Amino acid sequence: MAHLSRIKIAARLRPRINGEIDDDSVKVIHSAGSSATHGSFVSVVNPRDTTQIFKFPFTSCYDQSAPQDHIFNNDVKPMIDVVFQGVTVTIFAYGVTSSGKTHTMQGTREEPGIIPRTLQSMFSRASLSARHAQLSMSYMEIYKDEVYDLLVDRDNAPKLPVRENEQGKVFVANLTTESITDFTEFDAIYARATKRRSVGATNLNRASSRSHAILSIHVLVPDSAHGKTLIGKINLVDLAGSENNKLTGNDPSRMAESAAINKSLSVLGQVVHALNLNQPRIPYRNSKLTRILQDALGGSSVGLLVCNLAPGVKFRQDTLNTLNFAVRTKNIENKPVVNEQDDRPALRPYKLAAKVAPPAVAGPSRPRPSMVPVPRAPRTSALGSLAGFQPFIAPPIEPKIEEQERLGGLRAGLTEDEIDARIAKAVEREVARRLEERERQREKEERERLSHQQDNQRTRSKSPKKEDISLPSGVLTPMLKRHKDLDDEVRARLETIEDKLHVIFLTVFNASAANLTGIIPGIANPASTSQPTCVHQYPRKNSGEHTLLLRGRTLKRETFKPLSTFIAKQRLTFPTTSS
Ligand SMILES: Nc1ncnc2c1ncn2[C@@H]1O[C@H](COP(=O)(O)OP(=O)(O)OP(=O)(O)O)[C@@H](O)[C@H]1O
């Protein structure tokens, strides 16, 4: 079973900038003997009661003096090991505008942030490894809920669609991926791409990011000893700042951007909330941001959320919002998996049909399949514990029959018994699948039939009232006759029953079927060649009436009009059979 991994939270309080007034409303406290990663917490003075303090303990808390390398070494570096084991890691910076997200992720030339340090570390790891890991990158931004490729010129950048593959993994279609061989190459591409990112000045931050930026570094680590390649990925996400329009002084066009930013962040909050409550429906689809980050939120990746905080009473409410979001996020549980691709050569299709219907005369030996390498589907397996990361590789999932055929058949090196067992299993599964499919189809047809029937009844009950409540006297079913005030729906139902059974109830005075046959010309359906027969007759108490149940293939209520008219006119009186 996959191990659960909670999203790790790091809080970072930035120093004062541009003559901001500092006060004690937000502080990072390291209790005696504690470090950033142990026993520290963020304290915020309660805005409603300044004698109270809210405490927010997180895995890591960094104060204003914390250098960039401190954060990287404590929280990010251990995750790079995980990426090289074939796991997806997502690190995202969250916080209000100007709280230091870009500084933390990107940093400056003098103080490089998480992104450049991660790349340097990955390249040095790749070059040290004898396994020749290959790195590549993609970089996108989400601006006003549309996705753009930052690796192509903005003029040519179309809006990219977000799709889902057969395994339910969400991806951005047509996003460029460039291979990168060293840090210098990465840095040149990244610098060019970052210039394309949508930024604009607000009162709080002259270079405010107006979009969410997601940089993904993919790594392929061949493992020839086991005939596979591990597929790792790290997503480095610099979210746009959650905005307080009173503080940012946005003009109308900025307000529209701001609304889109706030909406996607609010959906992010809703997703986190729904995950916390274990709700059956998580609103990932309500914004592109959450859709793309789906795997990092309750999915199969490992996550780190860096909460950036701005100091001072001016930002206190935003700080509390950010910290409350972090508290909810830290309860989210992911189930990390190892992504890998099987590189072992597969075989040409083994004649499955021959196995399903074995040859009449079994020969002493069967033909050995020839070895022809074909591409294999990537697979995932459950991740073991993250601490001391020992991935557990689940046994390969057996492909379906069609898949086996597509992949080129059964694997080399299997004994005949193993091949037999696999074929038997595959056939068994296929039969079960078809039975299930048939059952589903049957249920579907039944549902359609019922709904069709209900529609019919609704239509009938809505159709204008037939003049004939006044159906010719004696041709109404006993119920209809007894209850003249029957509502349309019951009437319609009775008529449906009559139609279906090819029967009609005929009420006559003082007469039975035997008396009527041959005496009343209309007993035979005048419009039909088939004679209706009387299948039952019910003498009615103390009334002299008989109700006859007539049955005939082409029986129609209208065709009895002449008969009923005849009866009505003649006021016939016959002896009843019972008398
Ligand atoms: N830890 C830090 N040390 C020194 N300066 C910092 C630190 N954090 C942030 N700053 C400075 O604060 C300012 C705002 O930071 P930054 O641009 O990173 O904020 P942001 O959260 O990314 O804002 P936005 O959401 O508007 O993009 C910048 O001038 C940055 O250099």
DSSP string, 116-132: HHHHHHHHHHHHHSTT-
pLDDT value at position 397?
A: 36
Query: Whose CA is closest to atom 14 on ligand 1?
Result: 98
Which residue's CA is minimally distant from atom 9 of ligand 1?
100
- Reduced 3-state DSSP string for 229-277: EEEEEEEEEECCCECCHHHHCCCHHHHHHHHHHHHHHHHHHHHHHHHHC
Count of all residues that appear for the chain in the document: 579
Distance CA 31, CA 40 (A): 6
Res 328: pLDDT: 85
Residue 539, helix vs strand vs coil = strand
Residues annotated within a binding site: 95-102
Contacts of 239 (CB under 8 A, 6+ apart): 92, 93, 94, 95, 101, 212, 265, 289
So what's the pLDDT on residue 385?
38
Known binding residues for ATP are 95-102
The pTM is what?
0.62
Structure tokens given for 377: 């589907």
Three-state SS for 73?
helix
Atom of ligand 1 nearest to the CA of 204: 26
Pocket test for ligand 1, best of 61, 103, 211 (most atoms within 8 A of CB): 103
Whole-angstrom CA distances from 14 to 99, 307, 400 are 7, 11, 54
Q: How far, in Å, from the CA of 101 to the mean position of ligand 1?
A: 6
Residues touching ligand 1 (Cβ under 6 Å) are 14-15, 17, 95, 97-103, 205, 208-209, 240-241, 308
What is the phi/psi pair of residue 543, to 5°?
A: -125, -15
- Spatial neighbors of 198 by CB under 8 A, at least 6 apart, are 141, 143, 209, 210, 211, 257
Collapsed DSSP state (helix, strand, coil) of residue 4:
coil
How far, in Å, from the CA of 344 to the mean position of ligand 1? 49
Q: How many CA atoms lie within 13 A of 65 on its CB side?
A: 3
Q: Whose CA is nearest to atom 8 of ligand 1?
A: 100
Tell me whether strands 162-164 and 170-172 are parallel, antiparallel or unpaired.
antiparallel
- CA 247-249-253 angle, to 5 degrees, is 135
406-430 as b/e, with b when 16 or more CB fall inside 10 Å? Answer: ebbbbbeeeeeeebeebbeebeeee
Q: How far is the CA of 52 from the centre of ligand 1 (A)?
A: 29
Counting atoms of ligand 1 from 1, which one is nearest the CA of 64? 1
Q: Give yes or no for a contact between 148 and 160, defined as CB atoms under 8 angstroms apart.
A: yes
Identify which of 22, 102, 199, 247 to mutate to test ligand 1's pocket (most ligand atoms within 8 A of the CB). 102
**pLDDT tens digits along 164-222:** 888 788 899 999 999 999 999 999 999 999 888 766 555 545 555 778 899 999 999 99
Encoded tokens for 6: 């909670």
Starting at the edge strand found earlier in the chain, the sheet holding 26-35 runs 26-35, 38-45, 53-57
Query: Using alpha carbons only, how large is the chain's radius of gyration in Å?
Result: 39
Question: In ligand 1, which atom is closest to the CA atom of 240?
Answer: 25
88 alpha carbon to ligand 1 midpoint, in Å? 27
All residue ranges of the chain with pLDDT < 70 are 1-3, 32-38, 130, 156, 198-208, 243-261, 345-435, 460-579
Dump strand ranges (E) for 287-382.
302-309, 333-334, 337-342, 378-382
